Structure 1
Amino acid sequence: MSHAPQYETSYGGGTTYEPEPEPGPAQEFFPRQATGGVPDGGRAEARRAARRKRAKPKPWPKASSERPESLRRLLPQALVVAFLAGGTSAFVANDKAVRLSVDGESRTLHTFADDVGELLEDEGVDFGTHDIVAPTASTALASGDEIAVRYGRPVKLTLDGQRREVWTTARTVDGALRQLGVRAEGAYLSASRSKRIERDGLDLDVRTERTVTIMADGRERTIRTNAATVREAVEESGITLNGQDTTSVAPGSFPRDGQTVTVMRISGRKEVREEPIPFDVRRTDDPSLFAGTEVVERQGHQGTRRVTYALRTVNGVKQKPRRVRSEVVREPQTQIVKVGTKQLPNSVAGADGLNWGSLAHCESGGRPNAVDASGTYGGLYQFDTRTWQGLGGTGRPQDAPAEEQTFRAKKLYVQRGASPWPHCGGRL
């Protein structure tokens, strides 16, 4: 007696047999829900399609007329049971129950994702470089896993006067301070510690407590302060700044930890002084004057400037006067000087062979700018001004070059001989 096949079904007038389905990927039967159910497309659909593949039915040998009728009735039921059992096993094997926390909001969900990144993508959770995902996006998922996403928040932090932008995943000011390692005990905070930091960030000013030493009036005071300025720290120490009083560092500057600040008691007054303004000298060439001769055409005059000075005493010590204002009372007048450019003659006929050096030495000691005690006679040869100008000289003889003085002395000798020099003329 031949062995009957396991499953059979009737087709028309005869009985045929189907082979068992070939092994394949686990099949998914249920649509994915919004909270992590079975997906209705994508990879899940591909897996369902793979499981639907069937081998082409092949006819079995004809059944014996003696095959029990009960076996034919059991065949459809056995196929359904086997199909359901295989699909349910695949569904259970791929479904994972995980706990997802996004910025502190937690929920449990079921997923068919293979790794953390796939789960977050399926759930529509975006993350960037400043966000934290734990475990990492490439980590494979298993049932019972816990995944946390914490979003980064920008904080414009001014810490002890220094401004910078930082990122934190903390959701409150207190958490951000701990995460950033900022010592907040005794510190001034521009926002309460419990304030929530939204995704768009927060401006936060923090002034930590510092030790500052104040020196004033011969005493030293050391305080702990979170003051924003040196002036505030001085006032907290019980010291008052009056009038022109100031500090050794700018009163509006930020007090640093360990800094020593000296209070300077200042008294002072203003003093007005008149100061001279020197005049300029302008020289112009004059071809009518012998070279080396300079004649003042217009006398220069000094101007006057009125200057206001601040006189200060700091902690009892007088300071250098400080000029605070200046105004011109009288403008200076420029002095104009003519400068000769005319070539001096080499000789005067009838006087060149005389000993003019000896005469000059006798009259003036050989000094071109010599002037007698009365102020009447001047120069090498002690001309009076009237005689000098009568010989063609300009100005005073003692202001002319030595060569010009000798030249005019020779002219005078030609006119009057040695008589103009009654005591020294014999030396010629």
Structure 2
Amino acid sequence: MKNIFTSKLLWMSAASVLTIAFISILLFHSTKTSVQVSADGEKGLVRTHADTVAELFEELNIEPEEHDELSHSLSDSVTYGMDIEHKEAKEIQVSDGDDVQNVYTTASTVGQLMTEEDIGVKDRDHVSPEPSESLENGMSISIDRAFQVTVKDGTNEEEVWTTASTVDELLKEQAISVEEEDRLNPETDAELDAAQRVTITRVEKTVKTTEEETDYPTVTKQDGDLAEGKEKVVSEGSTGIVEREYRITKVNGNIEDRVLIGETVKKESRDRVIAVGTKEPERKTAVAAATTTDEPSGATSTSSTDASSKARTLQMEATAYTADCAGCSGVTATGVDLNANPDKKVIAVDPNVIPLGSEVWVEGYGTAVAADTGGAINGNRIDLHVSDKGEAFNFGRKRVQVKILD
């Protein structure tokens, strides 16, 4: 009987202990405070016996850093229904031109950070990444400030805004193409700044073929049956046709150079032949002279002198050239330095038609010296020296009258 009583007593004691423990647990949990906690982008309900925010964070293993953002002070007391938020700060590198700095922020996007740091940008400036991009810890933000550069493209000049760092980047940004023959200054890899001037000289090279008439040469031959001083046309000349190929270089739309690179004769010209009389007049007998002249003593006839002093006149095809033309040295075939004498009146001739060293008069050009030759100067063709390349182009090709004075 005693054993049964003892056993019941032990069971009653154990039940009492368990009941007390259970009641204690119920009391412990029933006295917890419920709060909302947001951390690391997550939000949840937490029941806690912590008295302060600091104790709550310690329970949750949250260690706020210096630049983190807290909705409450760590010393604030925890109360029922409290909404506690912890935002962890991100370290961001911001490069604004040459100014580079590290900033700590709890902003969500690039744009929010720039507003937070009071970093102003204009529409022409370039921000990378975009202002709408989300921020990540360790991210780098680059701000390129726009500046004005002078761009002269051919004859068009304008000021453009750019964030490019090199000439090549500027050309791509402005969708400007530069062809192989064009001239670019400075080069594509040159660095840009606000004081820079970019010049594109547009160069166009074309080949043009033309058919041109060639003047016929005038050839004289002596005729013993024709009285001295008399001339007679033996045969009329006819013009020829030659196909000429020119390489033309235009710079910004204006002709800079025009070079003859090929020539094909399509039709030969025919010489104009003139007979020049050499027959001397019959001399009067002494008796006849004595009876028919009343001239005073010492008087002489000037008819033969006048005939011999007549200048030989030719119709020639004329062009113009300068001392610095393609393939020219500036020194004529007879040694005249045209570089040192840019205004010297000199013509290039075919020595078989006009002897070198002859003094000539050229219609529209004046008195000159036949002091030069040329590979394309054959027959009745001459080339007139002028000092300016533009004047040479404007002269073109003309038929002129040429008188050989000596």
TM-score normalised by L of structure 1: 0.36
Q: Which of structures 1 and 2 has the bigger CA Rg?
A: 1
TM-score by length of 2: 0.38
The structure richer in helix per residue is: 1
User: Taking CA–CA contacts closer than 8 Å with sequence separation of 6 or more, which of the two structures ends up with the larger relative contact order?
Assistant: 2
Q: Which has the higher strand share?
A: 2
